[in-house]
Structure 1
Amino acid sequence: SLRRRGRPPSDRWLFQSTHPQYLSHLIIRRSFRVVPVLVGASIPRREREDTTERYARGILTLFCPWRNVLDICDPYTSWSNALQLYQSSFTTESNK
């Protein structure tokens, strides 16, 4: 029997066939945790009334799976309301 040395292989997934990088790229599960960083302005504070929508949009972008904006917020829902709908699905760790 062959014994593998080192770490077990990470899970791997292909992009959908309609994705532009379908033929050249794949997704590999990281073996350690990382914190994603949004490029651009920082996520505003939750307590400020004038930035509630930007805060909700940033949090949803980081913690909800999505392929297009309609996956997390439809045109008839505010970002704040969409965040309220999704918050129950967040894990205890993501709420820290």
Structure 2
Amino acid sequence: MDLQQLQRQAIAVHDLYDELNLAERGRIWDRQDFMLGFMGDAGDLAKLVMAAEGTRTMPGGRAALEHELADCLWSVLILAHRYEVDLPAAFMRSMTELEEAIGARLDGR
């Protein structure tokens, strides 16, 4: 599955959440709500990484870690969608810039 397929599935789930939130709360999430949700997921992921490294206790084990990684990816895909960012192009651009910058530093050692 490529990134565009992942984004299409993420958007389908996003649309279902819009329906659910509208039905249950009378409003849908805006971009800020998605960012705050992502921050919550990132915090949960941090706790699970700490548990995987033995520095804290958290229930769920590997399955919970996988779930939170997927939640964080979903949030990034949705934020890119909501801000109309071509994520594959932005990723490739950023990775190329990093490769060049790191390569230049390594060459200058």
Report the TM-score when normalising by structure 1: 0.30
**Greater RCO structure (CA 8 Å; 6+ sep):** 2
**Greater share of strand:** 1
**Greater share of helix:** 2
Report the TM-score when normalising by structure 2: 0.27
